[in-house]
């Protein structure tokens, strides 16, 4: 089954404790992206990647890191989480050139105390 | 001024109504325009994708882009309760597989 998986789905952590949210897709897609969704602010892009070792900033990259060492994985790293990073995070993937084909993961709800 | 503005809603309509959802934008470099639908507790799904100005129709859905006015719309004909969701517009300079800027989303409720 074609899918994007995210882990963990729910996480409560404390300020400053490094964490990684994993994202994996099984469709050999070149493009992957991370978003955060907050009430009243909508969906905002954090980082995106158009292929292995190619990443670029979205609208809200501050406080986040990403890496794309393999095509299937695109982890989101919070080196020193802060309460303002409490949010619902989505990972997405799509093949380059097929603009109407996108898959979103189920979301990760992160709470930073 | 934010790059993308979307009517905040919420919006409630009776079943069968024609729904018009709108976004305005300030960045004239935007060339690619998308509408996403998001059901409660789910990830967004791409609903419509258009390039530059013009209309695109898919079943009961029509996406319209007016670049001269920096205005895009999504029309839903014969709305159904299953259309109840949050709708987000998104825009990009260089395509859906690049940097995307979203509107805040509007929650639509279609009453049976």
Q: Does pLDDT of B53 surpass 90?
A: no
Return the number of other C-beta atoms located less than 10 Å from residue B69's C-beta. Answer: 10
Percent of chain B scored above 90 by pLDDT? 79
Distances (CA, A) of A106 to A4, A88, B42: 8, 10, 6
Residue B84: CB partners within 8 Å, gap ≥ 6? Answer: B108, B109, B110
Choose among B52, B64, B63, B58: nearest CA to B92: B52
For B59-92, the pLDDT digits (tens) are: 999 999 999 999 999 999 999 999 999 999 999 9
For A77-92, the pLDDT digits (tens) are: 999 999 999 999 999 9
pLDDT of residue B1: 64
Q: Which residues of B touch A107 (CB under 8 A)?
A: 42-43
Distances (CA, A) of B30 to A27, A63, A97, B6, B80: 28, 27, 18, 16, 31
Q: Give the pLDDT band (50/70/90) at residue A99.
A: low
For A18-70, the pLDDT digits (tens) are: 999 999 999 999 999 999 999 888 899 999 999 999 999 999 999 999 999 99
Cβ distance of B43 and A59 shorter than 8 Å: no
User: Which H or E run includes A45?
Assistant: strand A42-51
The verdict on B88 touching A (C-beta cutoff 8 Å) is yes
Q: Would you state the structure tokens that stand for residue B40, as one six-digit string?
A: 């409660």
What's the helix, strand, coil split of chain B in %, to 5?
5, 55, 45
Q: Does pLDDT of B33 surpass 90?
A: yes
Distance between B73 CA and the closest CA of chain A, angstroms? 18
pLDDT (mean) for B50-59:
90
Q: Give the pLDDT band (50/70/90) at residue B2.
A: confident
Choose among B79, B107, B45: nearest CA to A92: B45
Whole-number mean pLDDT of chain A?
Answer: 93
Please give the Cα distance from A30 to A9 (Å, whole number).
Answer: 23
Q: Which residues of A touch B49 (CB under 8 A)?
A: 99-100
Question: Residues, chain A, total?
Answer: 113
Please give the Cα distance from B78 to B30 (Å, whole number).
Answer: 30
């Amino acid at each position: 089954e074609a899918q994007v998986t995210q882990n963990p789905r729910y996480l409560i952590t404390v300020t400053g404790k490094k964490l990684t949210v994993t994202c994996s897709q099984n469709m050999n897609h070149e493009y992957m992206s991370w978003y955060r969704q907050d009430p009243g602010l909508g969906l905002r892009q954090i980082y995106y990647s158009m292929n292995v070792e190619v990443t670029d900033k979205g609208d809200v990259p501050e406080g986040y890191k990403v890496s794309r060492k393999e095509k299937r994985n695109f982890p989101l790293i919070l080196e020193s989480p802060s309460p303002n990073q409490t949010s619902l995070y989505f990972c997405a993937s799509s093949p380059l050139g097929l603009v109407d084909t996108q898959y979103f993961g189920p979301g990760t709800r992160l709470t930073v105390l | 001024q934010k790059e993308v503005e979307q009517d905040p809603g919420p919006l409630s309509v009776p079943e069968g109504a024609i729904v018009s959802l709108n976004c305005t934008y300030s960045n004239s470099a935007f060339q690619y325009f998308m509408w996403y639908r998001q059901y409660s507790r789910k990830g967004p799904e791409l609903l419509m994708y258009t390039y530059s100005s013009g209309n695109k129709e898919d079943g009961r859905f029509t996406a319209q882009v007016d670049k001269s006015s920096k205005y895009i719309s999504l029309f839903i004909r014969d709305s159904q309760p299953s259309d109840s969701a949050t709708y987000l517009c998104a825009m990009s300079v260089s395509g859906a597989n690049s940097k995307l800027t979203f509107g805040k989303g509007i929650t639509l409720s279609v009453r049976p």
